Structure 1
Amino acid sequence: MIESSFIQQSYFSNKIDGNDLADILRSQKPSGEMLLDVAQMNQTHSNKIECIETEGIFPSDGLVTSTKNISLVVKTADCMPVLIKTEASIAALHVGWKGLQNDIFDLALRKIAGTNIKVSVGPHAQSCCYEIQNDVAKLFPESVLKRKNKMYLNLSKQIVNSCQLNDIEIQVSKNCTVCDNNFWSFRENKTAQRQYSFIWI
């Protein structure tokens, strides 16, 4: 389990933690009981964000809440888990290139309440391994690296740039889910297993 040193009460799981969400959440409580109510997303690579007050599974790729004791959960295997916190609320986003193209991060910034925004981006496919073709490269010309006649995407660069423009503090994991065997990667082996990232107030 990787605890964010940047945002309190937020974590990113890896292979060692297994793939059972209930067990992962219980591991954060010494007594072993369920940590919190859980809110998840069906994650369809959209830019839809739900503002919620209860647990459940929501038709979105982003969740925002100001309600205490609800854990917002993101499932990933190469996309970015993006956790956001202010003094008043939190958000969790599932962000791949389609979400970036449709401005899911900036939409979340408009929905989240409070100031003193902090952003933590968890392990994801990094530019060392995230090979793309022309159709994706032309959407993100400033985020493409070229090596040996191949193109690779820096998936987090657009979010980093947005944070810099808005004077928002951000921390981005350097762990690559594709080449680091401590993480599940769909690009590497088509696995159905996922990392879980979660945040709560």
Structure 2
Amino acid sequence: MINLDIKKLEKKRDYLILNEDNITIGFSTAEENRSFNRNTEEGIKELDVIKNEFNVKELAYLKQIHSDTVYVFDGQESFNDNEGDGIITNKLDTCIGVFTADCVPIILIDKTLGVVGAVHSGWKGTISGIVKKALEGMKEKFNCKAENIKIYIGPHIRKCCYEISEELKERFLKETGIEEKELFAGRNLSMEKVIEKDCLDFGVKEDNIFSLNLCTYCTEDIKLHSYRKSDGSYGRLFTFVIMK
């Protein structure tokens, strides 16, 4: 896994932007106190703003339910009413994205075939392997090859701050097969380690996995929304990918 150098990312308003040829990856921040909560009027307005800011025809997202359900977006009407936590598409001029406020946002891209994906992975999605299901979807629906896929992991609550119960810790150790010293510090979990393993097991190259090494809970240099830190406020980050 390679840590992304934040200084090399473009700053556009309160986004951190990474451009991969005709593909744009965006990580929103909370620098301007914007929130992309789809359940609020303000959040919907902010989502509409993205279409204008990035000049896209369509914006696709889901009613996230901490599942391992992944959809293919091909322009369906009322797509945004679907319940699930992952989207893949080969549509141009389209923005797909996920909402987070401690959970892990993951962007997947295959520049060779022109396929992208966005995944929301909380602990439930992480332990059920939602990123692997998204990879499987890219392979089955679009014939993507693992060696051509790049993974970008966005800001989330990291091992430094994410304490879970002893019962859940034992479940992660049993179901992932990852050594305790790699996966945990005490009861503090690294969801990223599980996601990385799933990608490697699928066949993604290690040097094609990138991480934006920011913790939503304790990072101070960049303001981010954190559900835990804010005692349940409605602030949400939006991590997205656009293919032109």
Match of 2:225 among 179, 184, 188: 184
The alpha-carbon deviation at position 73 of structure 1 amounts to 1.4
User: Aligned-pair distance for 1:22?
Assistant: 2.4
Structure 1 counterpart of 2:12: none
Q: Is the 8 A contact 1:85 1:119 kept in 2?
A: yes
Structure 1 stretches of at least 4 aligned residues deviating more than 6 Å after TM superposition: none
Query: 130, 144, 149: which one pairs with 2:184?
Result: 144
Aligned to 1:175: 214
The 2-side partners of 1:139 and 1:67 are apart by 38
Which residue number corresponds to residue 100 of structure 1? 126
Equivalence for 2:64: 43
Q: CA deviation at 1:13?
A: 0.1
In structure 2, distance between residues paired with 1:130 and 1:22: 32
Cα distance in structure 1, aligned partners of 2:18 and 2:184: 27
When structure 1 is superposed on structure 2, of 158-167 and 101-110 the one drifting more is 158-167
CA distances 1:87-132 after superposition (whole Å, capped 9, x unpaired): 2211110001100121111111111132310000100001111111
Matched residues, number: 192
Structure showing the higher helix proportion among its residues: 2
Whole-angstrom distance in 2 between the partners of 1:130 and 1:111: 29
Amino acid at match of 1:64: I
Contact 2:129 2:198 in 1 (8 A): no
Alignment of 1:1-201 (within 5 A): 1-4=15-18, 8-17=23-32, 18-19=34-35, 20-29=46-55, 35-54=56-75, 56-57=79-80, 58-86=82-110, 87-88=112-113, 89-112=115-138, 113=142, 114-115=144-145, 116-141=148-173, 142=178, 143-146=183-186, 151-165=187-201, 166-168=203-205, 169-181=208-220, 182-189=223-230, 190-201=232-243
DSSP-derived class of the 1:187 partner: coil
Identity among equivalent positions (%) equals: 26
Q: CA deviation at 1:23?
A: 2.7
Q: Which has the larger displacement, 19-28 or 83-92?
A: 19-28
Residue identity matched to 2:128: N
| Structure 1 alignment gaps of length 5 or more | 30-34
Cα displacement (A) at 1:183: 0.3
Distance 1:174 1:191, change over 3 A: same
Question: TM-score, normalising length from structure 1?
Answer: 0.88
The structural deviation recorded for 1:24 is 4.0
- Aligned residue number for residue 32 of structure 1: none
Q: Contact 2:88–2:116 (CA<8 Å) still a contact in 1? A: yes
Structure 2 CA distance for aligned equivalents of residues 164 and 107 of structure 1: 13
The alpha carbon displacement at 1:6 in A equals 6.3
TM (norm. structure 2) is: 0.73
- The RMSD of aligned alpha carbons is 1.8
